[in-house]
Amino acid sequence: MSRLEDNAMGPEELSGPHPGGADRLGDEPAWRRLLRRARVGVRDRPGYALLGITASLFAGLVAVYGLSDVAQRTLNGLVAGSYFALGAVGLTLVYGILKLVNFAHGDMLTFGAYMALLFSAGLGLPSLVAMAAGVLATAGLGLAFERLLWRPMRRKRAGLLQLLLTAIGLALFIRSGIQFVAGTAQRSLDVDVLASVEFLGLRIGTTELIVVVVGVAVLTLVAVLLRVTSVGRQMRALSDNFSLAETTGVDTSRIVALTWVFGAGLAGLAGVLYAAAAGSFNPNLGFLLLLTLFAAVILGGIGNAYGALVGGMFLGLTQEWSTLVIDSRWKIAIGFVILIMVLIVRPNGLFGRAAKI
């Protein structure tokens, strides 16, 4: 099974007794059996385990702070979580298939937002068209860098460190380019960020609601495409073993190019939606978000598309919930505390697998 296809609920539990277990189980105390089951559960079915942890966190908070407060924070968490998830999925896709830690990903988000700005404020296109054009432009940027930079570097067998440093340089290049052309002043897309909808006493910004819906829909679509389409299967093949996929007739050059189009396009989409919902942005938009995006990717398991979705949402929820318990200034730090705790239990992230030998 490929890394990108890993079932969110984890592989089926092994049938039959665990090695050396069966005959000792009889005299095991009940609490220890429970503990062992819980450990196995966390290991083998991280999806259910996470669901359980999230639900008990929610229940505990409701018991202390009341339903309406917690429900509102949950909604806020889903909003923040969809920013993270949308931003993270492109990052994890590129890593999973190309094994490239793309430090320029955050600045590709920024690029998308500024292209949407260029098309709407600069060229006078309607907002939705401008946003779509921004996404396409970012996908084009991804493709251009693949052809001009990454492919030649791969051909010259550049090592991981060289690729990583190139990505950091590229990040600075993109950001400085945006600053050079558009300046460092605050900008905003022509989107209503003030309107909100109310239901059951809960409030969510209209634009934010659109972001959540689009975010979940797009991420689900990406997951399904990876699973059912031929291109998706080839991507997963590359993710598993690049050279083996190449020898079995996969057109790697085409698949890699498509990966960049998808990864960069998703970055552009994340940037456009985040810029639209936040209301105001500057050339640091994506760079400031990048660390949290990495956290979401690592939390979900590097290279795992579902992991990015779940990791992003889980980070968003815990960050917003944390504001009930402690000072909101610590909420970004809380995300990283969660990350460290998860990595202690599952060093490869929630849905990641141990490295193959």
Partner 1 sequence: MMRGKATHWIIAGALAAAVAAGLAGCGGSEEGGGAGGEAAFDLKVGSLVPLTGGLASFGPPGRKAADLATDVGQKALDNAGLDVNFTVEHADTQTEPQAAIQAARKVLAGGATCLDGAYTSAETIALGNSVAVPQRVPLIAPSSSAPALSALDDDDFVWRTSASDALGAVALANLVEREAGAPAETTVALAARDDAYGEGFIEQFKTAWVERGGGITGPVLYDPSQASFNSEAGQMVSDDPDAYVIIDFPETYARFGAALVRTGQFHPDRMFSNNGIAPGAEGEKAPDGIPAPAIAGSRGHRPWTPAAGEAVEAFDELYRSAGGPARHTYDAQSFDAVVLCLLAAVAAGSNEGAQIKEKLREVSAPPGRKFSYLELADALRALADGQDIDYEGVSGPVNFDERGDPTVATFQVWSYDEGGTLEVAGEIEANADESR
In the complex, which residues of this chain contact partner 1 (CB under 8 A)? Answer: 72-73, 75-76, 79-80, 83-84, 185-188, 193-196, 198, 203-205, 208, 274, 278-280, 282, 284, 288-289, 292, 320, 323, 327-329, 331-332
List the end-to-end C-alpha distance of the chain, in Å, as a whole number: 15
Residue 312 zone, left/alpha/beta (φ > 0; ψ -120 to 50; rest): alpha
Residue 58 CB, nearest approach to partner 1 (Å)? 15
Closest contact distance (angstroms) between CB of 212 and partner 1 is: 11
Token pair for residue 146?
């693949």
Phi and psi of 107, rounded to 5°? -75, -20
One-character DSSP codes across 70-94 = HHHHHHHHHHHHHHHHHHHHHHHHH
Spatial separation of the C-alpha atoms in residues 210 and 252, rounded to whole Å: 36
Q: Which is nearer to partner 1, 282 or 348 (CB)?
A: 282
Nearer to partner 1, 173 or 330 (CB): 330
- Tell the smallest beta-carbon distance from residue 185 to partner 1 (Å): 6
Quote the least distance from Cβ 104 to partner 1, whole Å. 18
φ and ψ of 186, to 5 deg: -65, 140
Measured from the CB atom, the residue of 263 and 286 that comes closer to partner 1 is 286
User: Smallest distance from the beta carbon of 189 to partner 1, in angstroms?
Assistant: 10
Nearer to partner 1, 71 or 153 (CB): 71
**What is the rounded CA–CA span in Å between residue 212 and residue 200?**
18
Q: Single out the residue of 302, 345, 296 nearest to residue 318, CA to CA.
A: 296
Nearer to partner 1, 231 or 332 (CB): 332
